[in-house]
Amino acid sequence: MRKRRLVFALLLCFSTFWRIGAFKFHRAQKTERISGSAGDVLEDDPVGRLKVFVYELPSKYNKKILLKDPRCLTHMFAAEIFMHRFLLSSPVRTLNPDEADWFYTPVYATCDLTPNGLPLPFKSPRMMRSAIQLISSNWPYWNATEGADHFFIVPHDFAACFHYLEEKAIERGILPLLQRATLVQTFGQRNHVCLKDGSIIIPPYAPPQKMQAHLISPSTPRSIFVYFRGLFYDVGNDPEGGYYARGARASVWENFKDNPLFDISTEHPTTYYEDMQRAIFCLCPLGWAPWSPRLVEAVVFGCIPVIIADDIVLPFADAIPWEDIGIFVAEKDVPKLDTILTSIPIEEILRKQRVLANPSMKQAMLFPHPAQARDAFHQILNGLARKLPHDRSIYLRSGESILNWTAGPVGDLKPW
């Protein structure tokens, strides 16, 4: 009983504290500039720094697939579609491939959904191979580098490993034909076969208009200490437990379901976006993959993301100062989450909130249409521009070949 009263007092103390904090923060400067080069990089304008050639493919590789299933436009993998549209009208696009720095092949490889909206990656390898076959026989640019100056958008859970189960994804590895290309992917985990050096990690797609429509006044007090909505267990796919989220989400539930500082549940309320704007900390634990749209939501709604995913590589980590914005908690430390979060000094919380309030942070997480300066599209281009000029060693001698067209599972070699 006494313990409960103490916790209640703490909560009260925090919310009063927070209200004072919010008040001060409102009167003083609203946002904090990001120190060092990181902030400057986010502000970069890619126009004039690179030229991208967009291959014209038959519509069966992109537009026709989308016509069959418009759900792909709102899915968390929709970045591949919006990036294509963005590039078609972007000033970085060149119609002259001879002057291009980068080549882009618009394949909607994630637009194959089950009736429940789950993405099936099984056709993607054949589709990618077919598209590469096409560009390599119709244009000379693929053969010149075997893809080293080409980029591909692969937003699947395990990116170009093209399987939704991690062990199968690891067994498959990155599609052999993509091994020299630059991959733009949501999956980011250090020392993992599905992430190779040089990939650009992007945020998952979260619908910008919908989020915009749920914005509440920034002066609303943050009276929720810790917020999370989502699965703790995935009984259907992991009946024994322990595989899903490597047990981290189960541990959150088991340790804190009765803790009044933790507003956690599996039920997704209609006020989900508003609630995040009323919370100080938003949990972003891994699920089947280390990333989830919660990270985007937390940043956009100014809720400090508590990242629980060992070895995660975060979106645009070379441009966004994640250490300044978020809290990183090791998966094994989940049982200590309450102590960890309550011992963060209030000044540090306020500082993180000010950095989060910087519009550049939010812009970099979103794929708005039409595109806007500093948004995720621009950050992808900035990432590609920073890789220029290409090293001369990427250009192959005439007739030289490195890739093996018949490597990989035999099923992938069938025509698409």
Interface residues with ligand NAG (CB under 6 A) are 136-137, 140, 143, 404, 406-407
Nearer to ligand NAG, 136 or 360 (CB): 136
Burial of 380 (0-12, 13-18, 19+ CB in 10 A): buried
Helix (H, G, I), strand (E, B) or coil at 53: strand
> What are 42-45's contacts with CB under 8 Å, separation 24+?
42/316, 42/319, 42/320, 42/360, 42/361, 42/364, 42/374, 42/379, 43/360, 43/374, 44/378, 44/382, 44/385, 45/373, 45/378
Nearer to ligand NAG, 176 or 285 (CB): 176
The DSSP 8-state label assigned to residue 146 in this structure reads T
Closest approach, Cβ 139 to ligand NAG, in A, equals 6
Nearer to ligand NAG, 135 or 309 (CB): 135
- Percent of the chain that is helix, strand, coil (3-state, to 5): 40, 10, 45
Q: Is it true that the peptide bond before 121 is cis, omega within 30 degrees of 0?
A: no
Alpha carbons within 13 angstroms on the beta-carbon side of residue 370 total: 5
Q: 327-328 and 182-185: which strand pairing?
A: unpaired
Nearer to ligand NAG, 48 or 399 (CB): 399
Closest approach, Cβ 321 to ligand NAG, in A, equals 43
Nearer to ligand NAG, 162 or 367 (CB): 162
Closest approach, Cβ 136 to ligand NAG, in A, equals 5
Closest approach, Cβ 31 to ligand NAG, in A, equals 51
Closest approach, Cβ 170 to ligand NAG, in A, equals 17
Closest approach, Cβ 77 to ligand NAG, in A, equals 29
DSSP string, 244-261: GGGGHHHHHHHHHTT-TT
Closest approach, Cβ 144 to ligand NAG, in A, equals 9
Nearer to ligand NAG, 110 or 136 (CB): 136
Nearer to ligand NAG, 216 or 396 (CB): 396
Nearer to ligand NAG, 100 or 319 (CB): 100
Closest approach, Cβ 401 to ligand NAG, in A, equals 6
Nearer to ligand NAG, 235 or 407 (CB): 407
DSSP string, 254-314: HHHTT-TTEEEES---TTHHHHHHTEEEEEEE-SSSS--THHHHHHHTTPEEEEE-TTB--
- Mutual angle of helices 376-386 and 79-88, in 10-degree steps: 70
- Adjacency order of strands within the sheet including 304-308: 262-265, 224-229, 279-285, 304-308, 327-328
Closest approach, Cβ 133 to ligand NAG, in A, equals 9
